């Protein structure tokens, strides 16, 4: 916590004097180009690895970068509608042009899914991970984009594509896609190398963005 407070003081002293105008302008409204859906994992820092500034990314972060599919509505757990509200707001009100679903290596959520351990003490986590089960089904059926990866990393790559399917299950998203108003991208962040990969439909693989 001390590091956080010192960071704020350092920001005020060192950085803020040079960007007061930027924030005064941002206060008038936001116009982000991208809805970025990623994991809550502390090691995944999209503003940092994609060199973006305040106002450029509208971000949804949750455990496992999951999106409840349309088929789960209206029975969707009430606490889970937050992700859907943010998708609706950014797509229909802020008119983002791109949605990025970004998974990552060594994801604790994928590990919990791939190697089901005792989740009895974390009932909400157990319930939330339900939205990743279709990804696990695929892995269990031998579907993989790169069999050289560990089981949880294979799962996290498949899960990116699965969550994109969940997004596409909403008629308002499908409509935006049909009218070419949005594009959806699958990304995967390799923590050890700090490499970002993008899914290429033609090769059916995640490929390094360089
Ligand atoms: Zn994660």
Distance CA 77, CA 128 (A): 9
pLDDT tens digits, 108-154 = 999 999 887 778 888 889 999 999 999 999 999 999 999 999 999 99
Nearest CA among 62, 6, 11, 5 for reference residue 39? 62
Q: Above pLDDT 70, what percent of the chain?
A: 97
CA 66 – ligand 1 centroid, Å: 10
CA 179 – ligand 1 centroid, Å: 32
Nearest CA among 123, 197, 130, 128 for reference residue 160? 197
Distances (CA, A) of 178 to 113, 164, 182, 183, 186: 33, 15, 9, 10, 18
Per the DSSP assignment, residues forming a β-bridge with 36 are 59, 100
CA 156 – ligand 1 centroid, Å: 8
Query: How is domain 31-208 classified at the CATH fold level?
Result: Beta-carbonic Anhydrase; Chain A (3.40.1050)
The CATH 3.40.1050.10 domain(s) of the chain lie at 31-208
Omega cis (within 30) before 80 = no
pLDDT tens digits, 47-72 = 888 878 999 999 999 999 999 998 87
CA 99 – ligand 1 centroid, Å: 18
Flag whether pLDDT at 79 surpasses 70. Answer: no
CA–centroid distance for 119 within its chain: 23
CA 10 – ligand 1 centroid, Å: 29
Instruction: Name the pTM for this structure.
Output: 0.94
């Amino acid at each position: 916590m001390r590091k956080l407070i010192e960071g704020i003081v350092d920001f005020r002293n060192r950085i803020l004097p040079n960007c007061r105008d930027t924030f005064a302008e941002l206060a008038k409204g936001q116009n982000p180009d991208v809805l970025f859906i990623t994991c809550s994992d502390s090691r995944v820092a999209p503003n940092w690895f994609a060199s973006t500034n305040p106002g450029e990314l509208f971000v949804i972060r949750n455990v496992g970068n999951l999106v409840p599919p349309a088929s789960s509505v209206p029975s969707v757990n009430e606490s889970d509608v937050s992700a859907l509200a943010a998708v609706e707001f950014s797509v229909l009100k802020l008119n983002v042009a791109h949605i990025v679903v970004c998974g990552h290596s060594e994801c604790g959520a994928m590990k919990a899914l791939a190697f089901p351990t005792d989740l009895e003490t974390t009932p909400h986590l157990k319930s939330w991970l339900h939205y990743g089960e279709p990804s696990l089904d695929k892995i269990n059926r031998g579907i993989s984009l790169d069999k050289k990866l560990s089981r949880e990393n294979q799962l996290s790559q498949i899960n990116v594509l699965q969550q994109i399917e969940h997004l596409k299950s909403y008629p308002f998203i499908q409509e935006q896609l049909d009218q070419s108003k949005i594009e959806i991208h699958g990304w995967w962040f390799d923590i050890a190398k700090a490499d970002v990969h993008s899914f290429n439909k033609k090769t059916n693989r995640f490929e390094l963005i360089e």
